[in-house]
Structure 1
Amino acid sequence: MAIHWGDYMKKIWLAGPAFVLGMAGWGTAQAESVEKLAAAFGARQDITDISLAPGGALAAIVAPSGGRGDKVMIADLVKGGAPRTILNASGQGEHVSYCSWPSDAQLVCSILVQDKSTGNVLSFSRLLSLSLDGSPAKMLTQSANSRSLGVARYGGDIIDWQGGKPEEVLMLRQYIPENTIGTRLAQSGEGLGVESLNVRTLRRATVEKPNRTAAGYITDGMGNIRIMASTPAMGIGYDRNYTDYFYRLVGQHGWNPLGRVTVNPSGTYSGFRPVAVDPESNSVFGFDNKNGFSALYRQSLDGSNRREEVISKPGVDVDELIRIGRSRRVVGVSFATDYRQIEYFDPKLAALRSALSKALPGDPSVTIVDSSADESKLLMFVGSDIDPGKYYIFDKATRKLEEVLPLRTAMSGRTLSPMKSIQFRAFDGTMVPAYLTLPPGSDGKNLPAIIMPHGGPSARDEWGFDWLVQFFAARGFAVLQPNFRGSSGYGEAWFEKNGFQSWRTAVGDVTDAGDWLVSNGIAAKGKLAIFGWSYGGYAALQSGVLKPDLFKAIIAVAPVTDLQQLRNDHLNYSDYKLVDAMIGNGPHVSQGSPAQNAAKIQAPVLMFHGDWDTNVDIDQSELMQRRLLDAGKRAELVTFKGLTHSLVEGEARARMLAQSDAFLRENLGMPKE
């Protein structure tokens, strides 16, 4: 991807209470073939990660390279010009996850490495240090040696960018014990610890000794470790269903109990979950339950255990902290109702966000992504349902907003469809929230339609750009995304026992969404289909079991198809007991498994799955195909070699979209073009 910096730089000046903005709006899309449309919507986004250097003059961009690869580029926000590539990852078993800045001259990037030489997909993470002067990259993750009694699959993360000296950071390290025979220098510690590390010289020192039960540490952003998470394993190696948290007093080395967080069988949490330490108030922000909903609290770390509520919202979970700067200062909180909302604790940031939202066209969502060390320059993302989004730099001193890069250049000039928040009535009278997207220019009547349940199930759909939804809308389909019971964000009662144990309610809401489209005249008779990914694929298939005559076509991407098989797939992993509890036991396991009820499905089925998927093993789709074919049903499975759960390749996604469109048109009695 060759990006010419000058082509994208646009300026907005703050003039009084508003901004002066001169930008071209979205144009009208011209007619084009389904292959070209699928390639445009299936293309990987142009930026997968972006971060701002401490001085605010440089940005690090992780972008696609070739079909599956990634590259790291450095953009000069002052001088302009084309960004300079400093690292390439092939995408063949290696990907760049993210990059950030310990200094203006150094970059730290996290690399995901995957290997299938043993038959099973093994994943490893590694941290690299990159110098902007062109010198060779350096591995920050401690290498194994001939004495090591294992290999660390976890390569560490930077938990504090404010070390005692320039270019020093605090880094998590998974310590592996070594064979002690014939040496006094062997490493005997085991578990998770913390090192102080110079990213340029690689000088390292242990600041938190390895602990076999440690699951994580939280610093105050100023180089001090204040919180430890501990999850003791059972004797057979499985994770327990709780995590104990401990804290340190200022200047103390020992640990004091803070509290316990329990993972309930449903997958929800009980207890105060610490997230970020505030050094000014000597307290920790965290989430806990209030009347069945997640709320934000602050608990003192001075030994008094005083706790105060910071913010809660009736009927919705407060679920995300907004943090900026090198110290990751907490500046606000986020929650989703019909739209994702942000409430800033910092009044200046709140005023700035309000002014930007009013000045930019289309009433977009504005999010602060990163900042310079002194917070004088802010990296911001602006997007909406009909705008995939752009990154901007805001200079507080000059009050100038400067466009950096769009997220998806392939969407430029296209007419996209607004996403409307609606509610429909479920079988028991419950009003279920959902999002409805209609084809551009449509009157919303007598259309081919798709129900699109989300993944998870502990997730939810939100307002904003969705490449899947927009592709099908561009092809003339109405798309309804239900936040069925079992979705997160609406409190414990809405989550119920989770979307597997409470599948009748969750999938019942999904089929009721289809009935609502038909009864309201939005979906034409005989032209209703369902498309789902991951848990959404499970819901799509199980909808065909629950109400066989409703959908005329079923598309499932990387679906769970057999709950007992899902349990078995985790048997050799440490999270087995948690997955086992989430699935539960009883008649719902067989009744709620589409592969065990394939004979009930009437609609033809199309499935897609990557054979390197570690979230949902491809054996789930292979089993479903066999069961459907054995029952005399129409079923096709498209396998993508070397791709994981998200199918992160433009060509694969384009093929999936084009083939799905053809499948739907054939089975809904529609013309191909």
Structure 2
Amino acid sequence: MNAIHKKVYALTLTMAMSIALIQPAVQAAEASKPTAAVAEAITSKATQTLQQLGYIDGITDGMKESQTPITRAQAAIILQRVLKLDAPASLTGFADVLAQDEAAPAIYALKQSGLIQGQAKGYAPDAPLTRAQLASLFTRAFELKDNGIQVVYSDMKQIPAVHAEDAVRLKQHFIIEGSAFNAKATVTHGEFAEALYLALGLDVAAEGLTPLEDFFKQPAQAGFQMSPDGKHMAYLEPWNNRMNVVVKESGGSGKPIRITNETERSIAAFVWATDDKLLYVKDEAGDENYHIFVTDMDGKNSKDLTPYPNTRAMMVDPLESIPDEILVGMNKRDPRIFDVYRINIKTGEAVLAAENPGNISGWLTDHEGKIRVAVSTDGNVSSLMYRDSEDKPFEPLLTTELGDTFTPLMFTYDNKNIYAASNLDRDKIAIVEFSPSTKKVTKTIYENKDVDVSSFVPSKEKGTILAAVYETDKVNYEFFDDEFKTLMQDLQAKVPGKEVSISNMNEEGQVLFAAYSDKSMGTYYFYDSKTGKLDKLADAAPWIDESKMSDMKPVTYTSRDGLTLHGYLTLPNGAEASGLPLVVVPHGGPWARDSWGFSPEIQFLASRGYAVLQVNFRGSTGYGKEFLNAGNKEWGKAMQDDLTDGVNWLVKEGTVDPERVAIYGGSYGGYAALAGLAFTPDVYAAGISYVGPSNLFTLLDSLPPYWESERNMFYERMGDPVKDKELLTAASPLFHIDQMKAPLFVVQGANDPRVKQAESDQIVEALRERGVDVPYMLKANEGHGFANVENQLDLYRAIEKFLNRHLMQ
């Protein structure tokens, strides 16, 4: 008995489209530099903080005179204190630095540590420190690594080669801004203090803060799944900085066995294939060409079942009743469409099971593993195709227009009718039972007047549906089975204050589930419903202190044209809801929605003192077809207004300081960030676009080939490049950069198949041509969002500094 339905983990085209653009400052160059008053304030704060920490004394280091040049000797004295370096026994090596000199212990301590390299003829301790020398000194002292931010200096050719890379590192870590480096310019005491303040991260440091790394650390253990016979469990666990699959006995004392050894890319997903074999999925460097692998539960006999170049594989059916076979969709014949192959997981043999004529976007099997339903589409018009058996041709049963939904989910257990998600003749999606023989809906299993029904919980053992699942502010269940209702109530009672998500159940009454909240990443449990015994398996993030996390509160407000908008507001824990800096975080998709629960990103922002607003703006899913369709051709217009209205609502309430509002999002959310800065430049003080499209023409022109069947849908929901040229031009931030005046940070994965690198390249290049200095983080081994933890940490460290500089200073 599965928690949702047997294909819950399948990657279908429909699911892919639902996250199509989802899984984060611009002004003239002279305006991007801090004003004299701001610069002085930063320097003053830096000096005061460094003095409090005992790093400067104003005597031997000359720090009382902030505007005078700092000497190389004074810089050495300060760095020795900061780095706590012991002086060597012998204070010799430089002809112009004698042992009795006041700075000698510091200078030779730095030399011993490899931080300075001067030649024997002299160190020039009394010479003023130059910007180039500062860059090299700090890069070595604080181990500043390449974080992927592209750096362009207008005077790059004037930087000595020995210092050039270090000058780049300095700017990558937001220590200096502006287009010119001025390598030979001397550094004042105040400038040195500011650089040191930033290098030490003191600008974003505060007592009692949860470390940034704790939010984005890989889970200790996650994704528990029970083997079909219930004797073993598999889960993901970090190894060499990547999530790998581990197997252990259920309730046994045997040693867990790691069965995968991935070091380049984490395992994206896995599932039990049989009692002793597992399937797992991964791609290369974020290209989303997923391959399906099989391995024994001891890690032996691993095999790539889809070893084809430039091919994306997706599970169609694990064929539970046929242990050694699976049905897999692959686009190896034609990159635009997916054929179905029957693959033997022991031999790897793949046999064509269904050839795609060119317009099939999804397939459905019955409970015997026979392919009996297909969905054809041209992007706007979809048809449900059906056949009684695999030796017969598909025939259309019904046709739907854009906005109408009829998604086949599962056959009834007698293989006669079909359970489907449908909003035909209604606004909200309901779960219905459909008869292929009569071509009619025979029963409405469940509908909700306020929101779409998202899924259901089937039972193979009972041959029926146990509950329907729908999401309002949180996930809810409508129960049809008293035994299952009692089970859920029992589980809820055992983890008070937490929500429950079931992973597996079986006939023996064994239940694998996770308990989670907005303040907890989750805890995994194994429950024996017959004995009532509850075993805790693991905390996903035991290092997270829930008492320091913030409440994610559901909110509603009314848009300027009268729509009720739902979302979530997260305020800093313990902060007064008055005059707070705000980060608006629009979700990706845009045909998706935000949900309640633990978000490392949201909690991180709240922990740094920001209020965080997430809005399910028009065009979001889950609230009915009318609300979804209200977003058609409203990119940069009404969809953007919904975000602006949220900001204005919070400002009017007094919760938010209107001068300290930023917008940050990924994919469509990245587009919304660019659009916010371009179309409402007075609303935002800063913006961050993470894999966000900047030009809707080039976005549509570069859709992945396997989305070709959905092109017309994009044209209807976004705009046709020919028919709606003016609309798309008006909605593309790239063509309106002259209106941008707030600082912008751009983030991109080089292998992104959805929002190509060109989307970020072109807006960064356009702004730089205007003389605007744009931090641009580009990761060569990432795709549509960063998956590797080291890249995630680089990203959020940069975000922390960027937002702090533009919203907190």
TM-score (norm 2): 0.68
Residue in structure 1 matched with residue 301 of structure 2 by the alignment: 136
- What are the residue-to-residue correspondences of 1:555-566 with 2, within 5 Å? 555-566=688-699
Aligned mates of 1:587, 1:202 — CA distance in 2: 52
Distance 1:204 1:439, change over 3 A: closer
Deviations 1:558-598 (A, max 9, x none): 11111112122228663444434432114221111111111
Provide, for residues 625-652 of structure 1, a one-character-per-residue CA deviation record: whole Å limited to 9, x for no partner. 2223334445221112211112112222
1:518 equivalent to 2:651? Answer yes
Residues 437, 478 of structure 1: 8 Å contact kept:
yes
Q: What displacement does 1:322 show?
A: 3.2
8 Å contact 2:587–2:669 — kept in the other structure?
Answer: yes
Kept in 2, the 8 Å contact 1:458–1:498? The answer is no
In 2 relative to 1, CA 347–169 (structure 1 residues): closer, same or farther, beyond 3 Å?
A: farther
1:307 to 442, 447, 459: 442
Q: Residue 324 of structure 2 aligns with which residue? A: 168
Contact 1:325 1:375 in 2 (8 A): no
Matched, 1:293 2:445: no
Cα displacement (A) at 1:535: 0.9
Corresponding residue of 1:18: none
Q: Which residue of 2 aligns with 1:236?
A: none
**Pairing 1:212–2:391 present:** no
Cα distance in 2 for partners of 1:535, 1:175 equals: 26
Residue correspondence of structure 1 range 238-253 to structure 2 within 5 A: 241-249=380-388, 253=391
**What residue identity is the alignment partner of 1:199?**
I
Moved more, 439-448 or 660-669: 660-669
1:384-430 per-position Cα deviation (integer Å, ceiling 9, x unaligned): 11111112112122122222122223425662111111122322343
1:99 aligns with 2:246: no
The amino acid of 2:339's aligned partner reads L
Per-residue CA deviations over 1:591-636 (Å, capped at 9, x if unaligned) read 1111111111121111211111112112111212222333444522
Q: What is the number of residues matched between the two proteins?
A: 595
User: Cα distance, 1:81 vs. partner?
Assistant: 5.1
State how far apart, in whole Å, the 2-side matches of 1:383 and 1:260 are: 40
Return the offset for 1:109.
2.0
Q: Tell me the alpha carbon deviations over residues 24-53 of structure 1, each in whole angstroms, 9 at most, x when there is no partner.
A: xxxxxx96687x722111223345643210
TM-fit CA distance, 1:540: 1.7
More strand by share: 1
Change (3 A) 1:230 1:592: closer
Amino acid at match of 2:397: G
Matched, 1:616 2:745: no
Query: 2:251: which partner in 1?
Result: 78
Residue by residue over 1:653-672, the C-alpha shift from the partner in whole angstroms, topping out at 9 and shown as x without a partner, is 222222222222222243xx
Render the CA deviation track for 1:274-320: whole Å, top value 9, x for unaligned: 11112247321111114322111111245564532111111211122
How far off its partner does 1:77 sit?
2.0
Take 1:650 and 1:298, find their aligned partners in 2: how far apart are those partners? 44
Q: Which moved more, 1:557-566 or 1:494-503?
A: 494-503
Taking only the aligned residue pairs, the percentage that are identical comes to: 25
Please name the residue that 1:118 is paired with.
none
State the 1:220 CA deviation.
2.9
Letter in 1 for 2:684: F
| Letter aligned with residue 224 of structure 2 | I
Q: What are the residue-to-residue correspondences of 1:145-544 with 2, within 5 Å? A: 153-155=311-313, 157=315, 159-164=317-322, 167-172=323-328, 174=330, 192-195=339-342, 198-200=344-346, 208-213=353-358, 214-230=360-376, 241-249=380-388, 253-255=391-393, 257=395, 259-260=397-398, 262=400, 264=402, 268=403, 270-280=404-414, 282-289=416-423, 290-302=425-437, 305-323=440-458, 330-362=465-497, 364-372=498-506, 374=507, 376-412=509-545, 415-498=548-631, 500-544=633-677
| Higher normalized helix content (fraction of residues) | 2
Shift of 1:512: 1.3
Structure 1 window deviating more from structure 2 (391-400 vs 453-462): it is 391-400
> Contact 1:43 / 1:649 at 8 angstroms: preserved in 2?
no
What displacement does 1:98 show? 2.0
Cα distance change on mapping 1:524 and 1:199 into 2, 3 Å: same
Offset, 1:201: 5.0
Q: Unaligned regions of 5+ residues in structure 2, if any?
A: 1-204
Partners of 2:767 and 2:602 lie apart in 1 by 27
CA RMSD of aligned residues (A): 3.1
Question: How many angstroms apart in 2 are the aligned matches of 1:140 and 1:572?
Answer: 22
Query: Quick one: structure 1 residues 387 and 209, their matched pair in 2 at CA, closer, same or farther if it must change by over 3 Å?
Result: closer
Distance in 1 separating the partners of 2:301 and 2:525: 31
Structure ranking higher on relative contact order (CA contacts 8 Å, 6+ apart): 2
2:305–2:345 Cα contact (<8 Å) kept = yes
Tell me which amino acid in the other structure corresponds to 1:366.
V
Q: C-alpha offsets along residues 424-453 of structure 1, whole Å, 9 cap, x if unaligned?
A: 232234332221111111121121221111
CA distance in 1, matches of 2:692, 2:330: 33
Correspondence for 1:235:
none
Q: Distance in 1 between matches of 2:754 and 2:463?
A: 30
C-alpha contact (below 8 Å) 1:446/1:522 kept by paired residues? yes
Give SS of 1:514's match: helix
- 8 Å CA contact retained: 2:259, 2:300: no
In the alignment, which residue of structure 1 is the partner of 2:737? Answer: 598
Instruction: Look up the equivalent residue of 1:140 and give its one-letter code.
Output: L
Query: Structure 1 stretches of 5 or more lacking a match?
Result: 1-29, 115-120, 145-150, 179-189, 232-238
Q: Which residue of 1 aligns with 2:83?
A: none
Residues 396, 97 of structure 1: CA spacing in aligned structure 2 closer, same or farther, 3 A cutoff?
Answer: same
Post-superposition Cα deviations, 1:129-149, rounded to whole Å, max 9, x if no partner, equal 2113553213333x67xxxxx
Deviation string 1:253-281 (CA, Å, 9 cap, x unpaired) is 424535345462xxx4x252211112247
* Range 168-177 or range 636-645, more displaced: 168-177
- In 2, the alpha carbon distance for the partners of 1:534 and 1:244 equals 30
Residue in 1 aligned with 2:196? none
Contact 1:453 1:539 in 2 (8 A): yes
Query: Is residue 801 of structure 2 the alignment partner of residue 645 of structure 1?
Result: no
Q: Confirm or deny: 8 A CA contact 1:472 1:479 kept in the other structure.
A: yes
Contact 1:386–1:417 (CA under 8 A) maintained in structure 2: yes
Query: What secondary structure, in the 3-state scheme, does the structure 1 residue paired with 2:289 have?
Result: strand
Q: CA deviation at 1:495?
A: 1.9
Q: Is the CA contact 1:50–1:99 (under 8 Å) kept in the aligned structure 2?
A: no
Aligned mates of 1:412, 1:605 — CA distance in 2: 32
Question: What is the CA deviation profile of residues 35-90 of structure 1, one whole-angstrom value per residue up to 9, with x for unaligned ones?
Answer: x72211122334564321011121121334334x3311102222145521011122
From 521, 541, 552, the equivalent of 2:685 is: 552
Residue type matched to 2:315 in 1? D
Bigger mean CA offset, 412-421 vs 592-601: 412-421
Contact 1:287 1:295 in 2 (8 A): yes
Return closer, same or farther for 1:617/1:262 CA change in 2, 3 Å cut-off: farther
**Do the aligned partners of residues 641 and 38 (structure 1) sit closer, same or farther apart at CA in structure 2, a change above 3 Å counting?**
farther
- Counterparts of 1:177 and 1:122, CA distance in 2: 18
Report the counterpart of residue 125 of structure 1 in structure 2.
Answer: 290
TM-score after normalising by structure 1: 0.81
Amino acid at match of 1:154: R
CA distance in 2, matches of 1:293, 1:427: 23
Answer yes or no: is 1:109 the counterpart of 2:280.
yes
Q: Deviations over 1:228-261 (max 9, x none)?
A: 3345xxxxxxx65444333343x67424535345
Taking structure 1 as reference, are residues 123 and 439 closer, same or farther at Cα in structure 2, changes over 3 Å only? closer
Cα 1:226–1:47 shift into 2, 3 Å? farther
Pick aligned residue for 1:45 from 211, 214, 219: 219
Given that residues 291 and 313 in structure 2 are in contact (C-alpha distance below 8 angstroms), is that contact kept between their aligned partners in structure 1? yes
